[in-house]
Each structure stands twice: as structure tokens, then as C-alpha cells.
Amino acid sequence: MVKADICGKRRWQNWWSMMGFWWALILCLLAMMPCCQAMKLDGQWYWQDDPECAGAWRPFQPPGQPPFAKGTQYLWLRTTLPEEAVHDATLLFNVTGQNFEIWLDDQKIYSYGDMEQGPMSYGQRWHMVTLPPDYEGRTLLIRTRSDNPFCLGNFGTIQLESSVTQMATILRRDIPYIANIPLGIFMIFIMMMYYMSPTAPKSLYTQIILFIGCFVSWMMCVLNTKQLFLDAPVFWWFLLRINAYMLPILANLIIYRVIDRQYRRRTWLTVLAFAALFLTALLAELVGLNGLDACASVFYILLPVLEGLVAYWTIRSAIRGNYYCRALLPSLVAMLVMGTLDGAFGHFFWLPESGSLLPYGTFTIGIFVLYIVRQQIRRERSLAIRAAGLADAMAEAVERSETDRLTHCYNRNRLDAVLETEISRHREEKETFSLIMLDIDFFKRINDSYGHDAGDEVLASFAGLIRDNIKKSDVFVRWGGEEFILVCRGCSKDEAQLVAERLRRQVAYSDIFPRQRITCSIGVASWQGSGDTATALLKRVDTALYTAKRNGRNMVCCAVEA
């Protein structure tokens, strides 16, 4: 139990030490990063879908999309670059699902994808476009093409600064993800470690691991710097969308496992609702209807509604004493609020450049994981205490089955086991152990003269005296009635005879029973090697004892060995 407590404390200390070290490192990196704000292109933007019509330019305000007609695949966007010069000027923007070209007046300076290609397959990617030295005050034109009406013309916020500052901006945006991805991976390893315990609720732990794994995968998809290591926009975009749809499904499966029984069916229906929406979006995407984007609006509308109901049911369960729901509630509420705000700001563009709040939900997930770890430690400690109690009870039961209650000597059950062990160890050797059989002289007279209580007193005192004068390695057994056997390990016949004589004298000169002098007769026999047996050995020592009693008692006789 003490060992379990120490292990539990060490695990908690390692957990908090890891979190503290990691965040201290992140804060140091953040402090060393250049603190400069990039210049946003806040001038008036215009758009049109027909480049031949010079007067068709219409204003709009990014981020967001121009109000183009249904079926439009090509757009032109236009703005004027600022007059203020920036050294090593670059444009930074993030584009999803579009092929595009960038022009300065009549000069094309950048292109991405094939403008004449069929179906779009360019995913999501950020771009840094280097501007020529004479860019000040010139007209910036963007020609873009997309088959996805949810992406066409959406370039987010385009900012202008030096390339070093732009890269610092990219890294600074990744700070929440860089800080929380290792923490999520660490929690997965913690859960996997406890998953191996035979006492772990494996279905619950599996769902927690899957949810945290999906959340870590989502953060990696949002990470900007991933493009520096694996430039696969289509892969990252599809994985990002799939993870977004899967997160509430996996989260509700965890809640389904721990919530009160009366709310489980309702929670399961919530899981089915999100799963149905995901399958619909996936099938629509596979047939070319841009289902993952088209269903995103429905997803972000359903999220606060359905998850709000789940949060209410979780609160009701927590009030009724469900400790798992109490531990899960902060994580559920925080993830719900953060996910809803991210959807409102990122998908519906309620606020520009709001950033992402959801990565910070890792800390609230950590609260629930810590509770799970704490419960597992308690469960293992309880089982260890119970196992120790069962082991003690079993040892006590075995001891009772092998011990004589009156004399506290071993009984015949123990003798059989000891003889079998000694014979198996020394089958080929001779005189590696010996037996001494003792019999209290005229014991029947004591019972007849003084009663059976006096006889019991003599037996107990006699056994205590012998036990106090033998080695700890010897085994003292009550053979039956007033007869006892002593197994002398590692004793030859001559050594056993000396022990027997010493014991005889101890008995004869001790005040075992004040009302009558007590003596004993003793027989000695030794193991004779491979040709011997336990039965033959016991018969020889019994014969030696009979010889001692027949020759006058209060003496030691050794068996005649072949």
C-alpha cells in the first residue's frame, strides 16, 4: 500500500513537471520571437467576374467572399498596395480550394495551380509572395478559379511585411498548437500505460485515446508550419475536415460511457445525429458536391444546440453524484464554447483574424485525464489491499490446516510435504536428514490420575520445551497422541542421536508438570539414499522408538540401518 502511494505521487509529480517544463520552454521561445505587427491591406477591395467589363468592379470587404452569382468559377479581385515601402516586401495569405494568379498591374508575379484544369484539388495552403522593389502604390490583381462556391474568392486577410516578419507571424500563430500537441501526445501515452492494467475499463480508455488522438491530429492539420515538412494541401485539408466532424462524435461516446443511465439513450441519439451529418457530408464530397464544406454550416449550427443538451444532461448527472461527469464537465463546457466561437469566427467570419481557441481545450481535457489516472491509482491500490488481505487470509488458512491447535506444532499434513521436499532434494545422498520420534512416557497414567486437562497441559509444555531447544530449520510435528517427530535437516544419524540425547535430558530435568516427573523415549533414524522411501524411514524410526520403550523408557535408541 505504501509502495502504491509512492508510485501514485511520483506519477502526479512527473505529470506536473512535464507540463511546467514544456510551457516554460514555449514562453521562452515566444519571448525571443520578434514582436512586430504585419501591415494588413485595409484599403478598398473590388471584385468582378468579367475582366472585359472595365466598369463592372464592385466593392467588398474581406475576409469573406464577394457576392457572386451561382455557378461562377472565375473571379478577379483588386486593390491598391500602400505607398509605404517595406524592405524585402512579401504578401502572406491562406487559401483554401483555389487556383489563382497574382498580378501587379500587367505583370504576373505568382501563380498556383492550373487555371484551365477541371475539378479543383488544391486543398488548403498558405503562400508568401515576394513583391518587386517598385510595388508601392501599384494595383494588385488576383485572378482565382474554384469549383467550390464555399471557397471561391476567399483569401482571408492578406498582410504585407518583410519575409522575416511574415515567417515570425506564421510561427507565432502556431504557438497554441506547438504548445498543446506534445501535451496531447503525452496524455495519450499516459492513457495507454494505464490501458495495460488488468483493472482498467478498456472501452472507456480506448475512446479517450481515440478522442485525444483525433484532437491532436486536428491541431496538426491546422498547424501552419506543417507545410514546411510535408507540402500536401489536399491531404491536410481532407484530414482537417474529417477530424472536425469526428471530434463531437468521439467526445459524445466518452460521455455515453460515464453519464447516468437515464441520459444514455439521448446521448447516443446525439452521436447518431453527428455521425449522420458526417456520412452525408462525406458522400456528397465523393460525388463532387463539396459536401464537407456545404455541411459545415449545418455542423456549426448543430454544435451548440446538441452539445448544449449533452452538457445539460452531464450537469444533471454531476449534481446527482456522478464523479466522472463532474470531472468531465469543465472539459465539455470549455470545448463547446471554444468550438462554437471558432466556428462562428472562422467559418461565418463574424470577426477577422480571431485566431483559434480550441487548442487551449487540451488543458481542460487534462483535468479529466488526471481524474481518470487518479481513479485508476485508487482502484489499483484498493485491489492491492484486497489482494494482500486475501493472501494473509490464505496463509492463515494454510497455517491452520497444517498446525496442531493444542501444541502449536505442525501436523501430519506438513510432515508429508517436508519429507517429499527433503527426499526430492537428496534422493541420491545418504544421511542428509534424519528423523527423531519422541514419546512421553506413561502419558496414559497422567490422564487417568489428573484428568485430560492436565494431559493437555503436559502436551503443550512438552512441545514448548522441545521447540525452544531445536534449530529454526528443523520441523517439529505432532505425530499423534503423545508422539512427536522432529525432522532434522542436514543431520547425519550420529548428529541426530546427539540432538535426541540432549532433548531427552532437557525433558527429564525440566519441571514440565510439577505433580509428576515427566520423561520421554526417543527413536532416531536417517535417510539411506535412493533405495530408501518415506514409509520405510518412518517405520524404522517407529521401531527404534519401540525399542527404547521396551528397554526401560527414558532413553534414545537408533534404528538399525541396512
Q: What single DSSP character describes residue 470?
A: S
pLDDT, tens digit, 9 for 90 and up, residues 325-376: 888 888 888 888 888 787 777 666 555 555 677 888 788 888 888 888 888 8
Helix (H) or strand (E) holding 104: strand 99-104
Give the CA distances from residue 184 to residues 176, 222, 241, 269, 452, in Å, rounded to whole numbers and listed in that order.
12, 15, 19, 28, 76
State how far the Cα of 387 lies from the Cα of 67, in Å rounded to an integer.
71
State how far the Cα of 526 lies from the Cα of 477, in Å rounded to an integer.
17
Q: Pick from 532, 558, 526: which is nearest to 545 by CA?
A: 558
Say whether 403 sits in a helix, a strand or coil: strand
**240 vs 394, higher pLDDT:** 240
Q: Pick from 55, 110, 103: which is nearest to 81 by CA?
A: 103
Quickly name the fold that domain 39-157 has. Jelly Rolls (2.60.120)
Q: Which amino acid is at 229?
A: F
pLDDT, tens digit, 9 for 90 and up, residues 12-48: 455 455 555 545 544 554 444 444 455 678 788 899 9
**CATH number, span 2-32+178-382:** 1.20.1070
Residue 68 has what pLDDT? 87
pLDDT, tens digit, 9 for 90 and up, residues 271-314: 999 999 999 999 998 887 888 888 888 898 898 999 999 999 99
Say whether 506 sits in a helix, a strand or coil: helix
Top-confidence range, 22-31, 377-386, 536-545: 536-545
Query: How would residue 224 be classed by pLDDT, with cut points 50, 70 and 90?
Result: confident
Exposure of 505 in the CB half-sphere (CA atoms within 13 A): 5
Query: How would residue 485 be classed by pLDDT, with cut points 50, 70 and 90?
Result: very high
State how far the Cα of 412 lies from the Cα of 481, in Å rounded to an integer.
12
pLDDT, tens digit, 9 for 90 and up, residues 420-461: 888 888 887 887 899 999 999 999 999 888 999 899 999 999
In the predicted structure, residue 3 carries a pLDDT above the cut 70: no
Q: What is the mean pLDDT of residues 501-530?
A: 91
State how far the Cα of 277 lies from the Cα of 297, in Å rounded to an integer.
11
Could you identify the residue written with the cell 522575416? 164
Query: How would residue 562 be classed by pLDDT, with cut points 50, 70 and 90?
Result: low
State how far the Cα of 139 lies from the Cα of 78, in Å rounded to an integer.
7
**100 vs 24, higher pLDDT:** 100
Strands 74-80 and 483-489: unpaired
Helix (H) or strand (E) holding 269: helix 264-286
Residue 20 has what pLDDT? 54
61-65, 69-73, 261-265, 518-522: least confident range: 61-65
Handedness of CA 222, 223, 224, 230 (dihedral sign): negative
Residue boundaries of the structural domains of the chain: 2-32+178-382, 39-157, 412-558
Residue 147 has what pLDDT? 82
Residue 338 has what pLDDT? 83
Q: Share the mean pLDDT of the chain.
A: 84
* Residues 6 or more apart in contact with residue 334 via CB below 8 angstroms: 360, 361, 364
Quickly name the fold that domain 412-558 has. Alpha-Beta Plaits (3.30.70)
Query: How would residue 251 be classed by pLDDT, with cut points 50, 70 and 90?
Result: very high
Residue 347 has what pLDDT? 64
